[in-house]
Amino acid sequence: SQFASRYQTEVLIVGAGFAGIYLLHKLRGSGFQCLVLEATDSLGGTWNCNRYPGSRVDTNVPLYQLSIPEVWATWTWTERFPDRDELSRYFEHVDSVLNVKKDVLFNSKVVSAQYLVDASMWTVRISDGTSFTSRFLLLATGFASKPYIPEWAASDTFRGTTCHSACWPSSGVDLVGKRVAVIGTGATGVQMAQEISRQASHLYVFQRTPNLCLPMRQRKLDYAEQDAARADLPRLFKHRLTTTAGYADEPAKRSIFSDSPEERTAFFERLWDEGGFKFWTANYQDVLLDEEANRMAYDFWAGQTRARVADAQKRDMLAPVDPPHGWGCRRPCLESDYYEQLSKPHVSVIDVSRAPIVALTEDGLRTSDGAVYEVDVVGLATGFDALTGSMLDMGLASTSGAPLAEKWSNGVASYLGAALAGYPNLFYVFAAHGPTASNGPSCIELQSDWIVHVMVKMRRDGIESLEPTVEAERDWTSLLHSVYQASLVSNTRSWYDGSNVPTKRMEPLIFFGGFPLYRELCYNALDENFKGFNIRYRHDKQEG
Ligand code: NA7
């Protein structure tokens, strides 16, 4: 409204999860004045929103956390794979150490943002009408913050409770003794089903594609163990940025075919026993490049998994003899006793690959073959409009006023998965076109450190604004596409390519060239006086 107050700051950061907090901390350290706008009422981003039963990170600590010394030196984890509540406490700890909240405006969802060239300012509005101006706009909105809800689920005739995983009420949903449906078996659906099976009188798991889950091997961590390892953390945090995807491991530097069958089995077993993502991140180098190598990894996975499901019908649904898609070409997830829980008689696994769910009725769900499932609660673990959804959902407009959706109508374009032609002084992390299929905190720090370097150099060189050229975007986008095509990942449909949302264009949305190449390209652009960017110097502006 015309009465709304206006605030001015040097940098506006959107989102107060790992990315927003890290950017705030680094920019404060470099003398920038920042304000963070956060749509919800708490810190933590994805860990604030994802309150569904069983919500837990599946990258282990100490790998999964911020590298900020004041924070890790004073924090102790209780489990190797912390749950959502522990991660929430971690964010409170981050705040107590860094005093984050004093620079965060909560309940402030951005609804419009445009760069005004004449004023060299971003003008940003939030849902209550308040306007802000800033020199820089940094998006730290996460890759999975806009839920995807199938059309049929929007019906309001259902008499029971229906919730998407990312909108689960903080007061919880009473599931004890209830008939519950979980829709989807991505990382979220697996965690939900594993947990809800312990409470529900009957659980129906609606599976379209089986998840090729890996054993988590959860364990408790104690203070003494972590304290002893603390001195090594700076090395670990540095190391994770040099690996392909920000984990501690790299694929083994040998071909699967150079080992004998016995050696291969021994190697697979070792990775399997270590648990977590090892079987994915530390496997033979050709598993994601060569179909035969990939099949060997799948066969080992299926052998281990099928042995855990006694019921023949469920066994073929959960871990089929033939792979539903390339092994590791979708992000696997971690489980503790998913297969044992789903084997129980009060759990039904419904294959909806051929007969999809078509309606949410008064009493439950109906599939296209006419079958009806009466339930009290429907948990939607149907995923997200990932990577692009949150960027498109905040009213971003180019300097000429065109919405971002227009720019991307023939395909997503970006420069380095961090900047956009038509959007001067805007940078973003951990979303479209970034090396986002990776350990979140690692990717966020890699990209944010570069952005901070860019902003410091701009200040030093008297640069008013930077905006990528259309040619630089074209080159980056075509490199991203060709790297993607070289991987077996390109043969598999998932949120990596937008195909999980029916209305979305199918195209590679992630840079699969690995952190080292990504870093090299980013720092080359920086070192070569902002190669790929149009530069507007402050004196240009003064001279008109
Ligand atoms: P995902 O990985 O996108 O999983 C969504 C799941 O929901 C997936 O199994 C889908 O089946 C399924 N789905 C989607 N729509 C339907 C309908 N209409 N009917 C039945 N099943 C459906 O999202 P998550 O939340 O699990 O995980 C997202 C990321 O967050 C994860 O990778 C981690 O990084 C954290 P499909 O497989 O497409 O056949």
Ligand 1 atom, smallest distance to 357 CA? 19
The average pLDDT across 393-399 equals 98
Q: How does residue 543 score in pLDDT terms, banded at 50, 70 and 90?
A: low
- Check residue 365 and give its pLDDT: 98
The average pLDDT across 492-516 equals 96
Q: Quick check: helix, strand or coil at residue 366?
A: strand
Ligand 1 atom, smallest distance to 499 CA? 38
Tokens 């001279």 correspond to: 543
Taking alpha carbons only, the member of 138, 223, 122 closest to residue 448 is 138
CA-nearest residue, atom 23 of ligand 1: 383
CA-nearest residue, atom 2 of ligand 1: 186
CA-nearest residue, atom 21 of ligand 1: 184
H or E stretch covering 363: none
Cis peptide before 62 (omega within 30 of 0): yes
ipTM comes to 0.99
The predicted model scores a pTM of 0.97
Q: Which residues pair with 207 in a beta bridge?
A: 351
Taking alpha carbons only, the member of 325, 326, 328, 302 closest to residue 315 is 302
Residue 398 above 60 pLDDT?
yes
DSSP secondary structure letter of residue 264: H
Q: Are 247 and 59 within 8 A, CB to CB?
A: yes
Pocket-testing residue among 208, 368, 496, 504, ligand 1, by greatest number of atoms within 8 A of Cβ: 208
Q: Are 474 and 410 within 8 A, CB to CB?
A: no
Pocket-testing residue among 188, 366, 495, ligand 1, by greatest number of atoms within 8 A of Cβ: 188
Residue 4 above 60 pLDDT?
no
CA-nearest residue, atom 29 of ligand 1: 187
- The alpha carbon of 208 and the centre of ligand 1 are apart by a number of angstroms equal to 9
Residue 327 CA to residue 292 CA, distance in Å, equals 11
What is the dihedral sign for C-alpha 447, 448, 453, 457? positive
Burial of 351 (0-12, 13-18, 19+ CB in 10 A): middle
CA-nearest residue, atom 35 of ligand 1: 187
Ligand 1 atom, smallest distance to 356 CA? 19
What is the amino acid identity at position 377?
Answer: V
- Check residue 1 and give its pLDDT: 38
What is the dihedral sign for C-alpha 485, 490, 496, 501? positive
What is the amino acid identity at position 136?
Answer: F
Ligand 1 atom, smallest distance to 153 CA? 18
- The alpha carbon of 526 and the centre of ligand 1 are apart by a number of angstroms equal to 37
Pocket-testing residue among 382, 390, 430, ligand 1, by greatest number of atoms within 8 A of Cβ: 382
Tokens 């937008």 correspond to: 498
Average pLDDT value over all residues in the chain: 96
Give the model confidence (pLDDT) of 171-198 as tens digits: 999 999 999 999 999 999 999 999 999 9
Q: How does residue 542 score in pLDDT terms, banded at 50, 70 and 90?
A: low
Give the model confidence (pLDDT) of 300-341 as tens digits: 999 999 999 999 999 999 999 999 999 999 999 999 999 999
